[in-house]
């Protein structure tokens, strides 16, 4: 996970990418693929995307509904 430091700027860090994901999820609950496609341009790879989802889950901002296979805001 990339955090702001002397090596990574805030823009390159995971923290800068959390807000666009949350803003997209405010409109509707979406599948993982839909969230990734909508925000694809801000991620270098899927690993960065997974790191951001992990942070949001750990902070209690999102949850994953296994039945519908969708990400929802908490």
pLDDT tens digits along 4-40: 888 888 888 899 999 999 999 998 889 999 999 999 9
Q: Is the pLDDT of residue 1 over 90?
A: no
What phi, psi does 20 have (nearest 5°)? -60, -35
Residue 66 located in a structural domain: yes
**Residue 44, both tokens:** 């270098």
Residue 4 located in a structural domain: no
Residue 28 located in a structural domain: yes
Q: What angle do CA 19, 50, 3 make, to 5 degrees?
A: 60
For residue 22, what are the domain limits?
A: 15-73
Task: Report the domain count for the chain.
Answer: 1
Residue 9 located in a structural domain: no
Residue 57 located in a structural domain: yes
Q: Can you tell me the mean pLDDT for 51-59?
A: 94
For the domain that residue 52 is a member of, what is the CATH number?
1.10.10
Residue 8 located in a structural domain: no
Residue 2 located in a structural domain: no
pLDDT recorded at residue 73: 93
What is the spatial distance between Cα 25 and Cα 8, in angstroms, rounded to a whole number?
A: 26
């Amino acid at each position: 996970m990339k955090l702001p430091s002397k090596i990574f700027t805030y823009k390159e860090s995971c923290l800068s990418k959390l807000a666009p994901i949350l803003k997209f999820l405010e409109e509707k609950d979406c599948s993982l693929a839909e969230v990734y496609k909508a925000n694809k341009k801000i991620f270098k790879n899927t690993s960065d995307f997974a790191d951001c989802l992990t942070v949001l889950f750990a902070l209690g901002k999102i949850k994953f509904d296994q039945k519908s296979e969708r990400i929802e805001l908490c």
